[in-house]
């Protein structure tokens, strides 16, 4: 009877619904890529904490205060704080570590290209590349990196076919983000199966 109880418990645990927290700024708040992920992951509970103009400190606070009882977290943000890349890197790192310490698999997403946005300048491009290099280095706590910069970029500009205003993405651009993140999730699921 004891073994039967353990088997039933293991079956119940294996049937539990996966959960995913997505945190970010306006790119996330626009909802396109989160909608795509919800369609691709119908058996996963997906919660979104995002707002236009969110700073990296706000994004970190969302994880600090709300990231409990999730299997995974997707983090996409930092462009609104890009004038202080050292702070962006520090708080992305803290966000990844807090999530990991709570048992979540962290999927870090690179910043999107934005050279054709009205406030862009060369210094900010350098900062964007610095932050993306940090993200792509798969820092402590990060399980997977979704590099969305390359498929969206045309010489550091957001490709015209994906752009609303040079920074924010249309539906096609949002889908590129969704597909790139989903590919990382699928890889994690595949690795877990073996």
Supply the range of the domain harboring residue 131. 17-193
Q: Which positions ≥6 away from 57 have C-beta within 8 Å?
A: 81, 87, 91
Q: Which CATH number is 28's domain given?
A: 3.40.50.1110
Grouped pLDDT means (10 residues each) for the chain, 194 residues? 51 66 96 96 97 98 94 97 97 98 97 96 98 98 98 97 97 98 96 79
The pTM of the full predicted model, rounded to 2 decimals, is 0.91
* Number of structural domains the chain divides into: 1
**CB of 183 within 8 A of CB of 193?**
no
Q: How far apart are CA 192 and CA 121, in angstroms?
A: 42
Residue at 124 is within a domain: yes
Q: How many CB atoms lie within 10 A of CB 66?
A: 14
Residue at 161 is within a domain: yes
Residue at 6 is within a domain: no
């Amino acid at each position: 009877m004891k073994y039967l109880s353990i088997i039933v418990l293991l079956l119940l645990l294996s049937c539990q619904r996966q959960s995913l927290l997505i945190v970010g700024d306006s790119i996330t708040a626009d909802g396109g890529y989160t909608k795509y992920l919800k369609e691709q992951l119908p058996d996963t509970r997906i919660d979104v904490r995002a707002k236009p103009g969110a700073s990296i400190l706000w994004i970190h606070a969302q994880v600090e205060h709300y990231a409990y009882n999730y299997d995974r977290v997707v983090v996409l943000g930092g462009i609104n704080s890009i004038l202080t890349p050292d702070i962006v890197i520090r708080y992305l790192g803290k966000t990844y570590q807090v999530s990991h310490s709570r048992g979540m698999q962290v999927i870090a997403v690179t910043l999107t290209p934005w050279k054709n946005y009205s406030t862009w300048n060369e210094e900010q491009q350098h900062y964007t590349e610095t932050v993306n290099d940090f993200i792509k280095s798969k820092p402590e706590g990060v399980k997977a990196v979704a590099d969305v910069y390359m498929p969206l970029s045309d010489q550091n500009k957001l490709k015209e076919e994906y752009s609303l205003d040079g920074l924010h993405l249309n539906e096609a651009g949002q889908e590129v983000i969704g597909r790139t993140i989903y590919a990382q999730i699928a890889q994690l699921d595949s690795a877990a199966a073996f």
